[in-house]
Structure 1
Amino acid sequence: MPDQPPYLRIADVLRERIANGEWVPGDRLPSRADLGQEYGVGDNVIRRAQELLISLGTLEGRAGSGTYVAEPRKRLRIVRSIFREQAGGSPFAADMAALGKRGTWESRTDAKIPAPVEIAARLGIAEGELCVRTAYEFLADGKPVQLSTSWEPYALTGGTLVVLPEGGPHGGIGVVRRMAEIGITITRAVEQPSPRTVTAEEAGLLGVQKGTLVTHIVRTYYAEDGRPVETADIVVPAGLCEIVYEVPVNS
């Protein structure tokens, strides 16, 4: 088996020292130079190890001050289930209410946006075909905890009362119920989660540091005839939220 990269080895050592109580929440770690000398590695190795632990919520960086042991925090529980949306209301708001928090969201919709090649493939349309794109920022007690960018074919909803996901008489009720208003029955959702680090834009919107780990979920809704009617990229910071999938079991 290949040797473990040096920065992962250092991250494990730092994490163990914190777990053993050598450093407690609020403590400032030694400088990168001092840690590098202690472990016989370069500054870049220490930096990468610290960035990893920051992305996991173990450490926190303070501009101009150094790196500190972060205060333990309980991750928010986010439940993924198409059946929760069919029940009505906002699943996100319900999840936050269960945690004693107020779940809200902000959105921006742009109509008639040409579909990029990847989005077109996911929606089964031609590249450049017009779509309605909506960017969401989900908030818990006013703090951002999740991002989502949704795409719907304009040919599907254009000229109807549901063309704007968050506007009109059916705004804000969710994809499943909106599509039902124009006679489209959504029967399944496919989600593909994968880990990655935030982009610079996502870090700014979420208020997290560069290198923070997120779960990137590619979700697509399908109608009963098998055609995709909406696809979205959902970004959830791993250190802030835990994702739980609710799967119904037929008796």
Structure 2
Amino acid sequence: MAVLPTSDDTLTDPQPLREDVLSLWRAFEPLSFERRSRALRLGEIRAPGAGDPFTPDGEIGVVLSGCLLLRVDQSRVNAGVAAAGDLVDLGGGASGRWLTGGTLYRAPLVGFLREAGDEGLRFLLSAGVRRTRILEGRLACAMAHPAVSRVASLLLEMDAACNGADVPLCQAAVGEMLSLRRSSVNGACQTLRTAGAIRTVRGRTIVLDRAVLAAHACCLRHAPEVKGEAVSTSSRAA
């Protein structure tokens, strides 16, 4: 299923582009218009459900919507949360699980490089460098920052990736993702609850106040707009 309309389709039946196509177009913005158009016609958009595995093989992928938990190769090492616009694979180097339903663009790596040329290769190399830096930052964070800061950072990242919906993880799952002992994650969540930042209920974590959560966090990636107000709890009832 091609993700972009042909020039003839555009001329004869002009339609507004879907939001997922626009997200994909923006994700490949470093490429020239011609290279981007040719490369993106190769792939397809799929719609995985919550809990589905992410196991690419010789492909590149871009998250268009939803929340994807990434791991290093097939290990249990947390490699972060992917949200809309994130390049999530470079030919099989990552695996993971969808925490929510979403949409994902996938294309053969070889075909993408053929169509995108040197620009595409530089783009993927740059993405690889960014991923390495993120992993290095996570390792440094694990060694230097207290549990409450790490939990707050992860919840902010996931709240943004879930687009404000409840984070579909219980305290035990958060602790597993961050390799924290049960006592450490329980204490961190209690601190955040007391501060009014979160509420935990029935296997979910509800973010009540992003600003308070950000004040406890140490590493902000997917949550640049946290200066605002508390999240309304009327739509987040237990």
TM-score (norm 2): 0.26
Structure with the higher fraction of residues in strand conformation: 1
Higher helix share: 2
Structure 1-normalised TM-score?
0.25
